[in-house]
A and B are shown apart, each in its own frame.
Chain A
Amino acid sequence: MIPGAFDYHRPSSIDEAVKLLADLGEEARVLAGGHSLIPMMKLRMALPENLIDLQDIAELKGISEDGGTITIGAMTRQSEIIASALLAEKCPILRETALQIADPQVRNLGTMGGNVANGDPGNDMPAVMQALDAVYVIAGPGGSREVAARAFYEAAYFTALADGEVLTAIRFAGPPAGHGYAYEKQKRKIGDYATAAAAVILTMSGERCESASIALTNVGDTPLLAQAAGEALVGTDLGDDALKAAADAAKAITQPASDGRGPAEFRTSVAGVMVRNAIVRAAARAA
């Protein structure tokens, strides 16, 4: 399959990339890892006239921590998330999630920025970012702005990212030491998108749940923050009643499509199971 013709650009700074986007207009697209965009171009469902490859922009790369705030550059590869000692210590849910994305070759090129900015409801990181209450740092012709992950997703492939803007980094407060976490994903095979998946981050005080944040992947047009599900856990000992209440609250907000991954009712049911399993695993990891 041969994509449509385009001109190729490889800027070396964010400013240069933003300027190229402004100068080249609507038919220009940025290229990160390319593992969503290039397949769409091969199908001619995307026909950009200009591709702006971000691979040479050093300021878009790397993972850092400053005063408890973790920043991940948009061009950081999934394989770098998996290998990061900093994330393994401070925010291991990202490693657990990245390992469930596609396969080793794809993770070597697929980026965090592409995963969260593309707006594909099948992507795994957006729900995790909603659970972490991350913000996305966006550069555009008017300078830089931030949008919360919880306010970023509007519909499938529609996000708060405007024409001419580039997502440059993801930023979030590292979850407290001793937090429990889990990303539970049911998929038909390695490389598939989730039938349903759930991200859970919680803190415990003895047997009592102090805080809980839950978000869902691929059971709606956007990632879904399951706020009521998290609230159903706070103050409980995560007994069976609390687990059922949380799973029911999560299921209530799902609106999955019926597709090759199963009928909508099945995927909603799987979402409930993923939420329950993720809570149990997160609790077992909490200190």
Chain B
Amino acid sequence: MSKMHIKMTVNGKAAEAHAEPRTLLIHLLREEFNLTGPHIGCDTGHCGACTIDMNGMSVKACTIFAAQANGAEVTTIEGIAAPDGTLHALQEAFREHHGLQCGFCTPGMITRAHRLLQENPSPSEDEIRHGISGNLCRCTGYQNIVKAISAAASELAAAKEAAQ
């Protein structure tokens, strides 16, 4: 059960570690790479607090071995804002619309919403609710989360139009 050499691209930068194959990706990210944005909530694949982006898909990092992500391209909540710290439209919208309550689910919510808006840039309320159905908010504050995602979608669409 020797350690493996695991390499991946995390938030645009090469990252590597020696880890046992049984190491879960969420532990590698948090404990080896010090990316504590993705949270461990239920630890059973239900709550989505550990949601990250892997190879262009939203996935739950608590139910993936780091070894499976060897060679993958990973984005965590830490990689969503611009390098100079300017918040992404989704992050701004969560602040503006009070989409954070206790904040525990927020990294997963925003990382999932970030991918959702790439899959579907102008989702309906129903599509947003189904799109984040793998992310639980135990403050049950979905109303403002949905509002924030919807506002960010409009914001991003307006910015895109202005750029053209």
**Which A residues are within 8 Å of any B CB, using their own CB?**
1-8, 10, 31, 34-35, 38-39, 41-42, 51, 53, 55, 79, 102-106, 108-109, 190-191
| CB of A131 to closest CB in B, whole Å | 25
- Contact status B4-A8, CB under 8 Å: yes
Which of A2, A39, A104: most chain B Cβ within 10 A? A104
Q: How many Å lie between the Cα of A206 and that of B130 in the bound state?
A: 37
Residue of B nearest to A53 (CB): B68
Given the complex of chains A and B, what is the CA–CA distance between A237 and B45 in angstroms?
A: 45
Contact between chains at A105 and B134 (CB < 8 Å)? yes
Interface size class of B (residues with CB under 8 A): 20 to 34
Given A1-B43, A2-B22, A34-B65, 13 more pairs with CB closer than 8 A: A2-B24, A5-B1, A5-B20, A6-B21, A8-B65, A35-B45, A42-B43, A42-B44, A53-B68, A79-B57, A103-B133, A105-B51, A191-B134
B 48-87 to A, binary, CB cutoff 8 A, 1 in contact else 0: 1001000001111001110110100000000000000000
Residue of B nearest to A51 (CB): B21
Is B46 an interface position by the 8 A CB rule?
Answer: yes
- Does B112 sit within 8 A of A, measured CB to CB? yes
Please tell me if the beta carbons of A3 and B68 are within 8 angstroms of each other in the complex.
no
CB-CB under 8 A from A5, the residues of chain B are 1, 20-22
A103-B63 contact given A1-B43, A2-B22, CB 8 Å threshold: no
B121 within 8 A of A: no
Q: Does B41 contact A (CB under 8 A)?
A: no
Interface residues of B in 100-153 (CB under 8 A from A): 112, 116, 130-131, 133-134
Known: A3-B22, A108-B59. A8 touches B133 (CB 8 A): no
Question: In the assembly, what is the distance between CA of A1 and CA of B64, in Å?
Answer: 13
**A106–B1 touching, CB < 8 Å:** no
